Amino acid sequence: MSYRIPEAFVGEENAKLAAALAEDYAALGSRLARRGVDIATVTEKVAAFAVAVPTWGVGTGGTRFARFPGPGEPRSVFDKLEDCATIHQLTRATPTCSPHIPWDKVSDYRELLGRAKALGVGFDAVNSNTFQDAPGQRLSYKFGSLTHSEKAVRDQAVAHNVECIEIGAKLGSKALTVWVADGSNFPGQSNLNRAFDWYLESMSEVYARLPDDWRVFLEHKLHEPAFYSTVISDWGSSLMAAQALGPKADCLVDLGHHAPNVNIEQIVARLIRAGRLAGFHFNDSNYGDDDLDTGSADPFRLFRVFNELVDASARGAANFNPAYMIDQSHNVTDPIESLMVSAMEVQRAYAQALLVDRAALEAAQAENDAMGAHCLFKAAFVADVSPILMQARSRAGGAIDPIAVYRASKYRAHKAKERPAVQGSSSGIV
């Protein structure tokens, strides 16, 4: 029988922290009440907020230089589901995981769905993969996939995406995420316009196979692995494609897919305005697509993004239904700890954005009171909302301190015994 953290153990650990939490929560409640904010309302909203974890994120990640697998590495999607369920058990913030095909391919998807249900997790958007050549694949994606110069390769990539839709349908997913690495490394290597035509031609075939209640998320990325041109390199190309394909196509924002210092929250505001914001791949970065833990490098940026989301929901923006997912690579930490902290940091940014006094901010903006507006904005960011996050978790049966409970449970040591060390590849993101 594979080890699960006993619910009673979580309760015992929470009991040690309950009195301090009650005190801190009450203190924060009276401080917020002075600002006309009802802490119970914020806590309910935070408790209802969910973010999906990437199945590929519970294994140790790596770079092109090396990957250093840790103890108890998941060996299959079944092991990955266990770890995803443990993240949700302790944070109560991640009820779904986002699968990646072919990394999560199995022979019996009913068995996989059954196991997920037994573990209390579901499946979010399914991710296709035409950025690697799968074992036994007939034609290579070395020079592209949906935009390859050869029709046969484009057809193969379309067929793969259609297969992902069929797999996702068996797992209860309602969306397909398409990120293509297609691009070039040399000026002149590809025709920039024809590549975009082929993208639309191929994606319209994929789009035609979407079930009525499905969406397709187009993920843009500035560069890597292509280092001169990338076919869907920015939100403009993504929005042009989504508008050309149809109402089921929206634009997904991976926070690490932009040039340094780009104002990502303004891109989010524009996509919301266009009614085409698919959602997010949350992570953080200092230089490129670093896939660092969400909120670990620039939590203020994450807050600024959530401010746009809360503002959009407050003004009833049309077609506003973003999907929230994490997409990170955990090269030096226990992936479960990183994903738990990241899920909590996403909740933190949301809670802080709920504290922005929008009426006062609007008045200060109208009067061009730059400093007044900025201080109002910043006041929400510097508020320590930890008691709200802890309360939301513990009321939902989660851990007040997920990291402490996880470590005290010795879950990783249990998995190291259950999962003999895997001789993993020495490099690569998974």
Contact 262, 307 (CB under 8 A): no
Q: Is 356 exposed, middle or buried (0-12, 13-18, 19+ CB in 10 A)?
A: buried
CA angle in degrees (0–180, nearest 5) for 227-231-236 = 110
Q: Which is nearer to Mn ion, 73 or 327 (CB)?
A: 327
Q: Which is nearer to ligand LRH, 289 or 334 (CB)?
A: 289
Binding of ligand LRH at residue 250 (CB under 6 A)? no
Query: Which amino acid would we find at residue 123?
Result: F
Binding of ligand LRH at residue 330 (CB under 6 A)? no
Q: Which of 221, 348, 393, 415 is the binder for ligand LRH (CB under 6 A)?
A: 221
Which of these ranges, 11-19, 21-29, 129-137, 275-283, lies near Mn ion under the rule CB under 5 A?
275-283
Strand, coil or helix: 294 = coil
Position of minimal CB gap to ligand LRH: 179
CA distance linking residue 292 with residue 353, whole number of Å: 22
Q: Which is nearer to ligand LRH, 132 or 313 (CB)?
A: 132
Q: Which residues are paired to 54 by β-bridges?
A: 98
Which of these ranges, 226-234, 303-311, 326-334, 378-386, lies near Mn ion under the rule CB under 5 A?
326-334
| Helix H or strand E segment including 53 | strand 53-54
State the binding string over 19-58 for ligand LRH (x if CB under 6 A, else -): -------------------------------------x--
Binding of ligand LRH at residue 254 (CB under 6 A)? yes
Distances (CA, A) of 292 to 341, 342, 418: 12, 10, 28
Binding of Mn ion at residue 327 (CB under 5 A)? yes
State the binding string over 237-266 for Mn ion (x if CB under 5 A, else -): -----------------x------------
Number of residues that bind ligand LRH (CB under 6 A): 9
Distances (CA, A) of 287 to 3, 260, 290, 411: 39, 6, 7, 33
Q: Which of 327, 334, 345, 401 is the binder for ligand LRH (CB under 6 A)?
A: 327
Binding of ligand LRH at residue 308 (CB under 6 A)? no
Q: Compute how many other C-beta atoms are within 10 angstroms of the C-beta atom of residue 153.
A: 22
CA angle in degrees (0–180, nearest 5) for 268-273-277 = 50
Query: Which amino acid would we find at residue 297?
Result: A
Q: Which is nearer to ligand LRH, 43 or 60 (CB)?
A: 60
State the binding string over 112-151 for ligand LRH (x if CB under 6 A, else -): ---------------x------------------------
CA distance linking residue 173 with residue 194, whole number of Å: 32
Q: Which is nearer to ligand LRH, 124 or 327 (CB)?
A: 327
* Minimum distance from residue 57 beta carbon to ligand LRH (Å): 9
Strands (DSSP E) contained in 249-345 are 249-254, 277-282, 323-326
The binding site for Mn ion (CB under 5 A) comprises 254, 281, 327
Binding site for ligand LRH (CB under 6 A): 56, 127, 179, 219, 221, 254, 281, 289, 327
